[in-house]
Amino acid sequence: MSAAGSGGRVHPARPGDPSRVGPYRIIGRLGSGGMGTVHAGLTADGLRVAVKVIHPAQAEDPEFRARFRREVQLSARVQGPCLVPLLAADPEADAPWLATAYAPGPTLNQYLADHGPLTGATLHAFATGTAQALAAVHEAGVVHRDVKPQNVILTPAGPRVLDFGIARAADGTSVTRTGVMTGTPGWISPEYYRTSTAGPEGDMFAWGALVAYAATGRLPFGTGAPDVVAFRVMSGDPDLDGVPEELREVVESALAKEPADRISAASAAQKCSGFLASQATQVLAGGDGPAPTRIGELVTAVWEMPAVDDPTWHAPSLPSRRRTVTTVLVAAAVIGALAGGALALPAAFPDGGDRGGARAATAGRTTASPARHAGGATGPVGTPGPAAATRTAADPRGVRVPTDPLAGVAHPAFTRAGDEAQPSDDEWRASTTAGAQEEKDTAQAIEDDVRSMLATKGLDHLTATVTFNRRAQTVMVTGGPVSQLPQDEQEVFRRAGEAASCTTLAHRLQAGPATWPYGRYSVFWKNSDVDTEADILGFGQATDGCYNEVAGQWRGDETGMATAQIPSTDKDEIRVADATDKAITAAWKTRVAEDDGVDPSAADDDISLGFDPAEKAAYVWIQDTYGALIGRAQRDNFQDVARRTTCGRLRDEYSRNQSWQYMRWSVAVYGGNMGTPEFIGSGDCLS
């Protein structure tokens, strides 16, 4: 995670926080996320550092440690101008950590919101410095994969590119497993949308969009639902009105649709430094000393950004209730992304019946499973209203998933309920294809369900093979063989495999508890046909319930959000997402105009909507750029607008379209430059 927390200042340490990490004295917190905490630290001589410490749950997972070790190795390789250096790390410590230099200043997003576009020599310095940073990244054999305004800090010494939490080595080795989308809509290259290819050329596409945004204050491919933005990126022309003529040619080259047609980072840095040199000559004319000649000197010479200080670095105080927007001090965790990674929070079935919690044996994961929605609903857009349609067995969406399919059964055939030991490689190798007709029907149902979920994200080229191990009483769902599959796609496959398996097995157990022996399921991935071992992605039991909730209420989570942020390829989802996004935006602008308790700047925040097929849920999120939604009342206001509008649209589609499954909703806020969504409401539109 590369955010400094709410307001970006140093917040007081909490009970249990360390007083020291390695050689650094900890004086407070800069931010936290699902995978760890970023602490404010000081060296013995007073140097400010950002120290990222991993949560104990992840530290206990050997697989996670291996990924974190790789993260440290990659960050050590990436050194250069306009980057934030790794200072120290200990991936083998009881609580793994790494420390980077601290970079004060606003993100590009925040600066543009407060001051407007960059101009003149400062703009040229920005373009030069960020291109030079990416050139260093690519020269080290690394691909950033998440170049965007939130990951560029405008420090007093120049721009700084940070956050390598989803970086990938050029040889295809991924740093993180999953949990956040590998990239952000609007800053993703056309080839990634088409083929999931993420190379240096993709970074340059995002760089071109970044420079255009810095020069104009407008997103070059506009705003809206992820699917709509994706369409513009793949087939539309960027909005470059206002980009200075000398920079426009370089930006247009970077934004070419075909990767081979794009300028490299090194060439872009060289061209932009030429423009910058002429600017520097004018700015420094009449100075006492000679004009700087190196790129780094040129950037520093013309860069105009006020110095920033935060007294809480020296004397942490209680959190202030006053909103701080103008300047944000960012903990420059070069490879942060603590909010993403492999952490999967509880997911759920959008089923209207009895409810219970699911458990998973894999570290840091829970089962995310779908259900057939029970019943339809109609009503005017914007009002929750009761379900108008009756839940019937004639509608397959009305079939409820049993929470405890073996309740009251004295001698079930499945005897391993509660056994959370993961299936071994030997058990996976010993599994066989379906034999009896019930096994064949089960395999077909799971494979069809997985295929339908993957198809909504354009991943129908991934196939699931279902096998059975009667001794282990486990159904094995295996994907592949595909080598070096992007981790976000592998994660969608895991969630789809777990979802389809849990629901299918729960029904089988309930229908034949005395004869059906399979109640466990495990999801694997093969990289090649000759593999004698497979990576285990997930594991669970259908006797535990196929979803999770809090106090009887379904809750959205980061894994569902990550899936929802992957653009859909389903025409109905694209149509509904676009219409609902526009309706929420319009309703929110109206609410802001009418409500004196909501900051007017909130009307300008970007609102997006996407779908998660595993949970059959619509996710709505808003980028709280100006900090207008910092209070509970303001967030309740937005949640109310988003819920009413979304449920109205979903119910209408559910009533008209027999194949429509989405009847759950979740609303989240991304505050400032935070990479972690804060969920402010979730539920079922049929409740």
Q: How far apart are CA 426 and CA 29, in angstroms?
A: 45
Helices (H), 284-379: 295-302
Catalytic annotation on 544? Answer: no
Across the strands, what pairs with 38? 31, 52
Q: Residue ranges of the alpha helices (H) in 91-199?
A: 108-115, 120-139, 190-195
CA distance 370 to 506: 12
Q: Which residues lie closer than 8 Å to 238 by C-beta, 6 or more apart? A: 208, 209, 212, 220, 221, 255
Which H, E and C letters describe 613-657, residue by residue?
A: CCCCEEEEEEEECCCCCCCHHHHHHHHHHHHHHHHHHHHHHHHHC
Q: Which residues contact 417 (CB under 8 A, 6 or more apart)?
A: 406, 519, 541, 543
Burial tier of 589 (Cβ tally within 10 Å: 0-12, 13-18, 19+): middle
Q: How far apart are the first and last CA of the chain?
A: 36
Helix, strand, or coil here: 280? helix
Backbone angles phi, psi at 368, to 5 degrees: -115, 105
Tokens of 95: 């609580």
Q: Among residues 17, 45, 146, 640, which one is catalytic?
A: 146
Question: Do residues 83 and 133 make contact, with C-beta atoms less than 8 angstroms apart?
Answer: yes
Nearest to residue 642, comparing CAs of 597, 565, 585, 603? Answer: 585
Residue 418 exposed, middle or buried by CB count within 10 Å (0-12, 13-18, 19+): exposed
Distance CA(231)–CA(335), nearest Å, equals: 29
Tokens of 407: 């309740």
Q: What are phi and psi of 541, to 5 degrees?
A: -130, 135
330-135-339 Cα angle (round to 5): 35
Instruction: Report, as residue numbers or ranges, the catalytic residues.
Output: 146
